[in-house]
Amino acid sequence: MDRVALRGLKARGHHGVFPREREEGQTFIVDLVLSLDTRPAAATDDLAKTVHYGVVAEEVVDVVQGEPVDLIETLAERIAQVCLKHEAVREVEVVVHKPDAPITVPFDDVTITITRSRV
């Protein structure tokens, strides 16, 4: 499988279990690795035979900005399902970063990483 990676997609969302997270929102950062066979696109130089990563980026941002969920695990799953709706994508790795998580000790980042593939 070939891989197309999108790193550092940023969007403001209102996800979390605490009222402040839901009310104020916070920035989430998403990294994606889309696995697919790029040979048909390369052979024909045809965008329709690969994944349009600009469209995927917009869809992922829409998910982050969309309906709030309690857990970043749920957010990651929703993002993965959006990515897998693209016909060329066979597998996706999703990393959701929550750098402003409500933790009382110093930290750099909180992430969840999931991998999902077509059945």
Active site positions, annotated? 98
d(CA 46, CA 98): 36
The strand order across the sheet containing 26-36 reads 2-13, 26-36, 91-97, 111-117
CA angle 107, 113, 117 (to 5 degrees): 175
Tokens for 100? Answer: 């402003």
What's phi and psi for 74, nearest 5 deg? -65, -40
Helix axes 72-84, 53-65, angle to 10 degrees: 150
